[in-house]
Amino acid sequence: MAALVNRRGNDDICPGGPLFSNLVDSSLLLSLTRNVDVYCPPRKRPRVTAPLIFRAGEKIADEKLQRSIDTLPEECLFEILRRLPGDKERSNSACVSKRWLMLLSSIRSSELAQKKPSVESVKKPVPDLNKDCALDEHESENNGYLTRRLDAEEATDIRLASIALGTYSRGGLGKLFIRGSNSTRLTDVGLSAIAHACPSLHVLSMWKVPLITDAGLSEIADGCPLLERLDLCRCPLISDKGLMAVAQKCPNLMSLTIDSCSSIGNEGLQVIGRCCPKLKSVSIKDCLHVGDRGIASLVSSASSSLERLKLHTLNISDISLAVIGNYGKNVIELSLTGLQNVGEKGFWVMGNTLGLQKLRSITITCCGKLTDRGLEAIAKGSPFLKHLSVHKCYYLSDDGLKAFAETARALESLHLEDCNRITLMGVTALLACNSELKSLALVRCLGLKDLAFSPTRLPSCVSLTSLTIRDCPGVTGASLQVVGRICSQLQKIDLSGQAGVTDASLIQLIGSSEVGFVEVNLCGCVDLTDDLVTLLVKAHGSTLKMLNLNGCKKITDRSLLAVADSCSMLDDLDLSCCSVSDYGVAVLASARQLNLHVLSLSSCSKVTQKIVPFLGNLGKSMVGLNLQNCSLISTHGIVLLEEKLWWCDIIS
């Protein structure tokens, strides 16, 4: 041993310095020959807490030698993370780092390692009475009770991955709404995370997500077979391929909305019609590559289930309308907008095929070739039609309206907008023919003008409860007096934008209602005065719930005194741009019988800071207060109101 210790040569085994200060005491080197054979007996691995390498008497900094699990390649880390025992463990592990989060979100349900039951786990556990069993059952079922909404910059891959892992153990994600923008950074990676961790997803709505492609939608189709509703709006990179993947793997699809998706065409719709037997609602808007072939195949294939169909701004012709009329046996709601290539023949054939027997509501907008003949055919083919809405169809006249009314006996609601060939004679004929009509709206129909003579025989329309005449400058006093004589059961009346209406023209209408007005909209009727408002609230104060006097500049505090004295049911009052002052508003706010929910004093120039204490006493029923453009109310006054009415939404 002495010879071993006193051998010749350099004591430094390592060039950077001696490894041991005393070779004998170390008891690790048993023999050392010319080849420097070293023997190290088995021993317990020490826990290293300090640097082990010395170089020229200096040690390397601790931070350079730190060991971390993140140094493992992703393949190894993947194998570790997929063996985590439960959903909560995976959710907690996702909080470690972004790398772990994204890696965990990439693990499919089929890739999770199944835990083998031990002998102890097979035994029936002792019940824990302190444990909330109902909550555990709710979480373990993962039935998709949760809803998440992301707007603009919130929509990122990391956020979706967090949602996917965070909701999995809390009932499961059922509805996901993404409203993006041109700068949205969401990609297929985030959507794949939802697909991997949210098999319970049944509603997916994506608006303006420019980076999502067919690959992401295909992942949703693979991982979310329970999908029932799909909305795609302004998704330029999604094509027929992604839509076909959804059709083939999501047989429960019931609702499909496609809006401004330039890459989607006929092939995707054809597969949707063949593979989705439960499809009930379809809305397709502004898709340039969708034509007659796609619409015809979709409607004919899904004829047994399709109930709602909306076609907006598409390059379809009379052929599509003929197929709808023939195969739309279960369609109850139909909307046709901006179909410039559809002619009179298309509407005529759609009605005369007699296939729309269950149709209850139809909306036709900007279809310039709809004529009286086409409208009459629709009435004949849909005997149970209840709601008709026609916008900007300039060839429709009184003759077509009368013929329609004579056939559509079940009609309850009629809305005519920008139909300039319709006159009061046609409207009178409609009221005379239809005994079920409950709601009539005439908006910007420039052909409506006061009659030069009063008809000797006027029809009686006791069923009409709602009347809207908006922005029809030719309708003034005489016409409204006739309406008052015809309609005795009116409850809702909207005359907004009728600048020519005066007090005298409304007296007959106000006095004719036998049941009492519930909603009255007189917005923009600039010539109305306090006399009419006083008459209105005295006659209908016990039933009136909504009163809009926006823009009636001749309305003063006198009207507010009448409202405070006579109205007991009023909950919505709009006094914007009226000539009311602090006194009238103070009386209104102090009325004990009033329980206002919404009050608007926007642009009331006479309302000042003095009204703040009175507005603060409006009560618990207030949910909305509009004080925009009230320049005499200071910022401090608004702050005081917000503190006093902390539950109320105050706009200033």
Token pair listed for 91: 């959710």
The three-point CA angle 457-462-465 to 5° equals 125
**Per the domain annotation, does 134 fall within a domain?**
no
Helix extents (H) in 513-634: 530-540, 557-566, 582-590, 612-615
CA 403 to each of CA 86, 407, 433: distance values in angstroms, whole numbers, following the listed order = 68, 7, 10
Q: Give the range with max mean pLDDT: 10-19, 68-77, 482-491.
A: 482-491
* pLDDT of 427 over the 80 cut: yes
Q: What are 200-220's pLDDT values in tens digits?
A: 999 999 999 999 999 999 999
The CATH number of residue 599's host domain is 3.80.10.10
Among the residue ranges 126-130, 252-256, 363-367, the one predicted with the least confidence is 126-130
Could you tell me the two tokens for 93? 């592990």
Task: Please report whether residue 555 resides in a domain.
Answer: yes
537-563 pLDDT, tens per residue? 999 999 999 999 999 999 999 999 999
Whether residue 349 has pLDDT greater than 50: yes
In whole angstroms, give the CA distance from residue 414 to residue 441. 6
Considering the domain boundaries, does residue 67 fall inside one? no
| Banded pLDDT at 233 (limits 50, 70, 90) | very high
Contact 173, 146 (CB under 8 A): yes
Lowest mean pLDDT, pick from 19-23, 216-220, 337-341, 648-652: 19-23
Residue 68 burial (CB count, 10 A): 6
| Whole-number pLDDT of residue 108 | 75
Backbone φ and ψ for 305, nearest 5 degrees, come out as: -125, -25
Q: How many residues are there in the chain?
A: 652
Identify whether 568 is part of a domain. yes
| Among 490, 495, 541, residue whose Cα is nearest residue 512 | 490
Q: Is the pLDDT of residue 67 over 80?
A: no
List helix spans (H) across 487-529: 503-512
Residue 425: per-residue pLDDT: 87
In a domain, 587, yes or no: yes
**Host domain of residue 81:** 74-106
Task: Give the pLDDT of residue 1.
Answer: 42
Tokens of 160: 């979706």
pLDDT band at 66 (very low <50, low <70, confident <90, very high): low
- pLDDT of 121 over the 50 cut: no
pLDDT at residue number 627: 95
The domain boundary residue, chosen from 86, 106, 126: 106
Dihedral sign from CA coordinates of 178, 179, 184, 187 = positive
Write down the pLDDT at residue 110: 65
Q: Which helix (H) or strand (E) holds 548?
A: strand 546-548
What residues contact residue 567 under an 8 Å CB cut-off, 6+ apart?
537, 541, 544, 547, 593, 594
Mean pLDDT of 623-635: 93
Confirm whether 350 is domain-assigned: no
Q: Coil, strand or helix: which one is 650?
A: strand
Total of domains in the chain: 2
Distance CA 633, CA 610 (A): 8
Q: For residue 478, what are its two tokens?
A: 């005489």
pLDDT score, position 169 = 64
233 beta partners: 207, 259
Residue 646 lies in a domain: yes
Share of the chain above pLDDT 70, in %: 82
pLDDT tens digits, one per residue of 263-313 = 999 999 999 999 999 999 999 999 999 999 999 999 999 988 999 999 999
Residue 419's pLDDT band (boundaries 50, 70, 90)? very high
CB 395 within 8 A of CB 343: no
Q: Strand ranges (DSSP E) for 375-458?
A: 387-391, 413-417, 439-443
Residue 91 lies in a domain: yes
Q: How far is CA 640 from CA 88, 364, 393, 583, in A?
A: 46, 50, 52, 20
What is the reported pLDDT for 99? 80
Instruction: Kindly report the average pLDDT of the chain as a whole number.
Output: 84
The domain boundary residue, chosen from 87, 106, 125 = 106
- pLDDT tens for residues 32-42? 444 444 444 55
Which percentage of the chain shows pLDDT scores above 90? Answer: 59
pLDDT per residue over 565-575, tens digit each?
A: 999 999 999 99
Q: Residue 595, SS3?
A: coil
- Residues with Cβ within 8 Å of 411's Cβ and at least 6 positions away in sequence, in order, are 385, 386, 387, 388, 405, 434, 436, 437
Range scoring the smallest mean pLDDT among 56-60, 453-457, 543-547: 56-60
Whole-number Å distance between alpha carbons of 369 and 336 = 12
More confident residue, 93 or 265: 265
